[in-house]
Chains A and B, each alone.
Chain A
Amino acid sequence: MGNRERESGQRRRRTAVKRFTISMQRKLVVLFLLVLLAFVGLGARLIMINRDQGQAYSMKVLSQQAYDNVTIPFKRGQILDAKGTVLADSVLVYNVIVDAYQVLDDEAYLEPTLNELQRLGIDRDAMERYIREQPASRYYIAMKNLTYQKRKEYLERIEEGIRDENDRKVPQEERYFSNVRGIWFEPGYTRTYPQNELACDVIGFANTNNVGMTGLEQYYNDILNGVQGRQYGYLDESLNIDWTTHDAKDGCTLQLTLDANIQSIVQKHLKAYNDRYANAVRKGGNGAYDVGCIVMDVNTGSIKAMAGYPFFNLNDPYNTDILVGSPVLDDTDQPTKKVLTQKDIDAMDDQEKARYLNALWTNYCISVPYEPGSTGKLYTVAAGLESGKISEDEEFYCPGFKEVDGVRIACHNTHRFLDLAHAVERSCNVYLMNIVEEIGKETYCDFRSTFNIGLKTGIDLAGEARTDSLLIPEETMSRVDLATNSFGQNYNVTMIQMAAGLSSLINGGYYYQPHVVDRIYSADGAVVKKVEPKVIKRTISEATSAKMREYCEMVVMTGLGTGGTARPYGYSIGGKTGTAETLPRGNEEYVVSFYGFAPVDDPQVAVYVVINRANQKRQGNHSLPCNIVREIMQEVLPYMNIYMDQPVTEEEREVLEQKGLEITYQED
């Protein structure tokens, strides 16, 4: 029994079942062998790939390993004025990056993502076209400079939306917010200048790569810039990406000696001058080729304000509209009488535009040389007194000219007999020529270098010019040269040279290095550097300086001097006018200037204004700069808590009241 019987019982029920025949079994073995053959072939192929391409493909694999390496931007330091007003700032902004590949990963992502991109202010149609055309793109900068606030709003919206969808258990296919995919934000900083054109020449501007182009931005570029941070991702032994972050180091902040209030007073009056005289003779032209103004603390050399008209907007430095009314430049970049019109600008190519923009960005106060004219007489007088070769009692006769080596050099008037004080007061050329005749060219040239004429002052601004090549060297200086030099012609200076040098004559003889930056703060607010006033040299003695102040006071205060119009109501100030004929001589073209300081007996602040070729028939009218200095001082002196020391007449009181200025006598 048992097996056999049971088997036979089963067999009986299954007789019609077909068998898997020997021939089929044989063919199955053939099929198996065919599969085996295919496997062997594929195995051989694998071996061949490894043998022939192994090296090359291994290299490929390694070269494709793009370990993430993300740079973290630093924040460029701020620029603050003396009172902490922000003049230049770096604001956190974001680039909006679109990952088209990810957006297209699921058709459901496209709509919500495009909606949100549109909400961020990106052109929806253009974006959709890009995503469709570049489906493999993983990095596309869809938008630049998205504000921090906008990004924050976006992130909050999405986050809140997803949370809400989670709470309501919205099914995946109906979800909106979690289907917003492939939008990334890349942080960066953008430079902004909240005060627009205020102190544009001094601050300068930085381009998008954090490179300062002019002014402080250029001079202090390395200090303002920080160090980029970096995030490295590398694969560890178990091939996990390991992140290492080196934080960015933000740049230092500059605090200036420059005061935004004084600066805006200055710019207001330069603009007022321009508005008044623009279009006067040269139709369509500005009030002058250039008008520059420096306000300086005479006892520290710190710059309180510095401006050159025309101004440009630091947030939009490439705007050429402001160029209308400027002089047309000749091939050597020198201004000409022709006036630039909008039509001319439209016709310019980029190179030409760059030439004019460069001229616009140039800081007139430190970069443009000019002949100082009569303000230079103060140097000659100081040299004469300090060298002891002349006395203030010495009188000379001015017949209206002086012949030097057969050359007749004119004075602007016939002053007859004058002593030194009155020679300065009236600005007599003949007297000055007599002084240099007495002191000789060696002494003159020694003092010239003492006063730093022609050399850089070392002010902390980019683009300061040296003008020593425009001085006549001692060896080749003729008597005529010396005579003309005595009253400020035939040599070139920059405004900052004059401001620093003249200030040393009236502050007791201390030549301070002019500077704009007062303090440098590190990113975490610690003072890295405090700039102390730096006396470069003693130019003259205290006694000589006192005399200089006295003469300068006469120029303004006697009513007979050339600078009478510069007197602000209620104040006694000193100063010196300058009227220099430009080359070529005889063209009736002048650079007029006025250097004024107050209070006259204890100078604290100097205001120096230069007008390069006023838009006037009589360009030599030195009351033009005097008026500007007066207007500036009238506002700046009370602001600096310098009290009036002169009686104010009823008329003057009315004018002051009209201007909204207080009468400020020092209370005893």
Chain B
Amino acid sequence: MADSGKIRTFPKDPYGGQKAENTNKARTGGLRARLLRALRRQPADGSQFRDYSLLFIILFLLGFGLVMLYSTSSYSAIVDYGDSAFYFRKQLIFTLMGLGLMVFVSFIPYRWYRVLSVPAYLAAAGLIFLIIPFGNEGGGAKRWLEIFGMNLQPAEVAKVAVIMLTATIIEREGRKELASTAGLLKPLIPSAIMAVMIWQITDNLSSAIIVLAITMGMLFVACPDYKRFVVMAGAVVVSAFLLVSYIVNAADRSTMEFRGRRILAWLDPIAYEDISYQTVQALYAIGSGGFLGKGLGQSMQKMIVPEAQNDMIFSIICEELGLFGAIGIMFMFILLIWRFMAIANNAEDMYGAMLVVGVISHIAVQVVLNISVVTNTMPNTGVTLPFFSYGGSSIFFLMAEIGIVLSVSRGIRFRKTEDG
């Protein structure tokens, strides 16, 4: 960003060479003492790091997301609820609540999560188990819990909890331990358990994949080597290829279970339009957009693409704003991730950096998966587009994650240059 040239972020290694005399005290101090310490950390002399460009990007994405949500959902809102702003209003409330949460979280010292991560993980697991007796159904799967009249998606809680827990485990592990297989598995196991729970209990394969991907992203950054990750990525690609070719060559396609038919529909969406109707319609929307699109609010496909305001919102963006708008949005996401990366690289400590890496992984994976689904680059699985898709839980917890990132960025301070 523009200001990154003027300032020098400092320090990369603020604690280098310090003795550990107070460490025990820091670890054993009471909650009150910790809070006071956290607050004292705020410098009063203006050396506090404030990333205005990040703030701008976030507010831009939020505002733009709301505009596109209104444009996309107004038709089905008026058809289903007689009120074109029905979805918009709900999303606006969640966004404002999410903003409040973001500010609140940004003031919470992120290092608390080292302690809170285990309870958070257990709480997320508990919420997922609560779905079995109390879950609300929607779209054919039980995924929601109703709390105070609002629908909560425990999978979203789980993503945040997994980021915290994985960061905690990685920080506790030594660099050498991470290099070993056991060290790699240690953070991977809790997130794998969580992923299986999400998959099996809430029947939400995509969230399970996202949880695993977040952990893998964090481990990739933390671990010193590349080899194991290249091997793992290769294994995933090969097994996916084998699975797809098995399904394609399967003798009897009619008895194949739903997911198998989804793969076939992915390879030839037009032929399996009963399954891939949504994808095909999304492709039509993308293809009909052209370079500059039909203009804001001018989508025709929003009347046809089922649930356009959810997973498929990007296709309507492509139709209304064209390649120009779509690539612009992707560019905004890249900027966001880049700013996050800057925060991670300048974080006070490794724990904060790993939290930011987790959030980066989360957002990056969701954006990439969502756009891949919409463009039929991968089989259809429900992934929402952060900031854009309709959904209270996802925007709410996304804002919480950004709050964590801001909390980490709070720890960064400038050091004025010698002549400055």
A and B associate: yes
Residues of A within 8 A of B (CB): 2-3, 6-7, 10-21, 23-25, 27-32, 35-36, 38-39, 41-43, 45-47, 49-50, 53-54, 56-58, 60-62, 64-65, 107, 136, 235, 238-239
A45 to B376, CA, bound (A): 9
Q: Which residue of B lies closest to A32 (CB)?
A: B341
Partner of A47, one of B137, B323, B347: B323
Q: How far is the CA of A511 from the CA of B364 in the complex (A)?
A: 97
Name the residue in B37, B221, B301, B348 with the highest tally of chain A Cβ atoms < 10 Å from its Cβ.
Answer: B221
Within 8 Å CB of B223, what residues of A?
Answer: 27
- The answer to whether the Cβ of B21 comes within 8 Å of any Cβ in the partner chain is yes
CB distance from B15 to the nearest CB of A (A): 5
A107 touches B350 (CB 8 A): no
**Once the chains bind, are B15 and A42 in contact (CB under 8 Å)?**
no
Report if B129 contacts A (CB, 8 A): no
Q: Whole-angstrom distance between the alpha carbons of A36 and B415 in the complex?
A: 31
Out of A6, A14, A29, A239, which one reaches B15, CB within 8 Å? A14
Asked if B22 contacts A23 (CB within 8 A), the reply is no
B345 interface residue, CB < 8 Å from A? yes
Residue B243, interface by CB 8 Å: no
Q: Give complex CA distance A64, B299 in Å.
A: 13
6 tightest Cβ-Cβ pairs between the two chains A and B: A57-B287, A20-B353, A15-B18, A16-B23, A58-B288, A18-B350
Report chain A residues within 8 Å CB of B318: 46
21 contacts between A and B (CB under 8 A): A10-B41, A13-B26, A13-B37, A14-B14, A15-B21, A17-B351, A20-B349, A23-B224, A25-B345, A27-B220, A27-B221, A28-B341, A31-B221, A32-B341, A35-B337, A45-B375, A46-B318, A46-B326, A50-B323, A53-B283, A57-B284
Residues of B within 8 A of A54 (CB): 287-288, 290
B26 touches A14 (CB 8 A): yes
Q: Which residues of A contact B222 (CB under 8 A)?
A: 24, 27
Give CA–CA (A576, B13) in the complex, Å: 132
Answer whether residue B371 sits at the interface, using C-beta atoms and an 8 A cutoff: yes
- Cβ-based interface call for B135 (8 A): no
Residue of B18, B221, B289 touching A28 (CB-CB under 8 A):
B221
Asked whether, in the complex, the Cβ of A6 is within 8 Å of the Cβ of B330, the reply is no
B237 on the interface (CB 8 Å rule)?
no
Question: What's the A-B contact tally at a CB cutoff of 8 Å?
Answer: 171
Across the interface, A20 reaches (CB within 8 A) one of B224, B284, B304, B347, namely B347
* A46 and B327 within 8 A (CB): yes
Residue of A nearest to B289 (CB): A50
Q: With A17-B349, A24-B350, A65-B300 given, is the CB distance from A49 to B171 under 8 Å? A: no
| A-side contacts of B323, CB under 8 Å | 46-47, 50
As a 0/1 sequence over residues 259 to 292 of chain B, the CB contacts with chain A under 8 angstroms (1 = contact) are 0000000000000001000000001111111110
Known contacts A14-B349, A19-B13, A20-B353: A49-B372 contact under CB 8 Å: no
Contact with A along B387-420 (1 / 0, CB 8 A): 0000000000000000000000000000100000
- Given contacts A24-B350, A58-B287, are A36 and B300 in contact (CB under 8 A)? no
**C-alpha spacing A30/B361, complex, angstroms:** 12
Alpha-carbon distance A384/B284, docked complex (angstroms)? 89
CB of A18 within 8 A of CB of B171, answer: yes
- Assess whether B234 is interfacial by the CB under 8 Å rule: no
Q: How far is the CB of A267 from chain B (nearest CB, A)?
A: 56
What is the CA–CA distance of A56 and B47 in the complex, to the nearest angstrom? 57
Contact A49 B286 (CB under 8 A): yes
B333 contacts partner chain A, Cβ-Cβ < 8 Å: yes
Q: Which of A35, A49, A65 contacts B368 (CB 8 A)?
A: A35
**A239-B300 CB under 8 A given contacts A32-B341, A50-B289, A57-B284:** yes
Closest to A238 in B: B297
Separation of A30 and B225 alpha carbons in the complex (Å): 12
State which of A17, A31, A41, A61 has its C-beta within 8 Å of the C-beta of B220.
A31
Give bound CA distance, A60 to B45, whole Å: 62
Known A6-B43, A31-B217; judge A57-B224 contact (CB<8 A).
Answer: no
> Is the beta-carbon distance between B334 and A39 smaller than 8 angstroms?
yes
Q: Indicate whether B377 reaches chain A with its CB closer than 8 angstroms.
A: yes
The smallest beta-carbon distance between A53 and chain B, in angstroms, is: 4
Q: Is the CB of A19 within 8 A of B15?
A: yes
For A29, the closest partner residue in chain B by CB is: B341
The answer to the question of B19 belonging to the interface, with a C-beta cut-off of 8 Å to chain A, is yes
Q: Which residues of B contact A239 (CB under 8 A)?
A: 297-300
> Is there an interface contact between A42 and B368, defined as CB atoms closer than 8 Å?
yes
B338→A32 contact, CB < 8 A: yes
A15 CB contacts on chain B under 8 angstroms: 15, 18-23
Whole-angstrom CA separation of A243 from B23 in the bound complex: 74
Across the interface, do B41 and A24 meet the contact criterion of CB distance under 8 Å? no
Nearest CB of chain A from residue B191's CB, rounded to whole Å: 17
Mask: chain B, 324-348; 1 = CB below 8 Å from A; 0 = not? 0011001001100110010011011
Q: What is the bound-complex CA distance between A355 and B27, given in angstroms? A: 104
In the complex, how many angstroms separate the beta carbon of A238 from the nearest chain B beta carbon? 7
State A29–B351 Cα separation when bound (angstroms): 17
**Docked pose: A42 CA to B11 CA in angstroms:** 37
Is A35 a contact partner of B364 (Cβ separation < 8 A)? Answer: yes
**Complex Cα distance A32/B41, Å?**
30
Distance (whole angstroms) from the CB of B287 to the closest CB of chain A: 3
Pick the most buried of B288, B323, B330: most chain A CB atoms within 10 A of its CB.
Answer: B288
Nearest CB on A from B387, distance (A): 15
**B415 CB contacts on chain A under 8 angstroms:** 3
Q: List the B side residues contacting A13 at CB < 8 Å.
A: 22-23, 25-26, 37
Residues of B within 8 A of A21 (CB): 175, 350
Q: Does B158 contact A (CB under 8 A)?
A: no
